[in-house]
């Protein structure tokens, strides 16, 4: 069977800084092919006999189902491992866990709190490690977002994506992914909730090579102006529940509603990584309206992750 490329075989994906522009585009194009094959009912067992270990510190719907079903469609097998299922939950070091799992499986996906912990896992793993989410980055989600924009607009370079909300892991990965693929990315956040300065700096550095524009502003209207896609996320991510009341007050002016969408370009789409809280970060008329591609975007998690797993594990 054909492969996407050999440059990624055996490597880790911890952030989108691990991928070149060419590698991202190859993954997106292969994801489109896998999606077509899946819709046509064509077998595509690129990972027959392979096993993916899935470690979950954080609960999930899309991450678990998309990886598990994706591995099954690729002819492989996925193991769900919560902290309570393995010895890491009883004090075994992440280094030992990585070394043991590497003897059993062909790849590891981890959804965790600490990004440093995922880096430790990868540093001690003999098989590819995929970051399924950390507090700092969400690369698989950003790849699905880019695939959705690519499908709808037919191109990435020269388009504009506006992110409105918290400067969190989703915002970080979107900025890096947009910078890598030539997409202008404007991030609007309340004061005090800006994305990490080092991520913004890195994204701007990458953007100089691709022609993209990376901006951070406190004005949602400024960010959304002429955008081809408007994106938001929940105001209170997992682990920040104690700040919920304060955040709701701070983020209220950043709600994505029909008025804010009117600043976007004609034909602009709405994106959200889900789960969503209607009436908070987005109104029902937007997320359930004709501009919304959130469920196509959710489906694309599986297709793009399948392409990624083939690239890393085949």
- Which of the following is catalytic: 62, 111, 247, 272? 111
Active site residue 233: yes
Residue 123 backbone dihedrals phi, psi, to 5 degrees: -65, -25
- Which of the following is catalytic: 62, 138, 172, 247? 138
- Which of the following is catalytic: 106, 135, 273, 303? 273
Task: Walk across the sheet containing 184-188 and list its strands.
Answer: 214-217, 184-188, 160-164, 229-232, 269-272
- Which of the following is catalytic: 141, 166, 178, 255? 141
Active site residue 111: yes
- Which of the following is catalytic: 106, 145, 184, 233? 233
- Which of the following is catalytic: 12, 172, 247, 301? 301
Kindly list the catalytic residues.
111, 138, 141, 233, 273, 301
């Amino acid at each position: 069977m054909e492969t996407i490329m050999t440059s990624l075989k055996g490597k880790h994906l911890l952030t989108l800084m691990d991928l070149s522009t060419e590698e991202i585009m190859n993954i997106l194009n292969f994801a489109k092919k896998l999606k077509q094959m899946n819709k046509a009912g064509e077998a595509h067992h690129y990972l027959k006999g392979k096993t993916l270990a899935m470690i979950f510190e954080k609960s999930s719907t899309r991450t678990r189902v998309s990886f598990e079903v994706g591995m099954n469609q690729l002819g492989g097998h996925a193991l769900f491992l919560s902290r309570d299922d393995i010895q890491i939950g009883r004090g075994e070091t992440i280094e030992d866990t990585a070394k043991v799992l590497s003897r059993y499986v062909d790849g590891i996906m981890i959804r965790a709190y600490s990004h440093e912990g995922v880096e430790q896992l990868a540093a001690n793993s003999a098989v590819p490690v995929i970051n399924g989410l950390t507090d700092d980055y969400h690369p698989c989600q950003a790849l699905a977002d880019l695939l959705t924009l690519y499908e709808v607009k037919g191109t990435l370079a020269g388009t504009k994506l506006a992110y409105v909300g918290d400067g969190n892991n989703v915002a970080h990965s979107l900025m890096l992914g947009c910078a890598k693929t030539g997409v202008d990315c404007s991030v609007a956040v309340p004061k005090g909730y800006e994305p990490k300065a080092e991520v913004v700096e890195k994204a701007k550095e990458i953007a100089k090579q691709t022609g993209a524009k990376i901006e951070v502003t406190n004005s949602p209207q400024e960010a959304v102006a002429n955008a081809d896609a408007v994106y938001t996320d929940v105001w209170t991510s997992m682990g920040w529940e104690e700040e919920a009341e304060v955040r709701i007050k701070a983020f209220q002016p950043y709600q994505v509603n029909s008025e804010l969408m009117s600043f976007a370009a004609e034909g602009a789409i709405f994106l959200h990584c889900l789960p969503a809280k209607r009436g908070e970060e987005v109104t029902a008329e937007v997320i359930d309206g004709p501009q919304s591609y959130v469920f196509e975007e959710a489906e694309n998690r599986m297709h793009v992750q399948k392409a990624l797993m083939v690239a890393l594990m085949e």
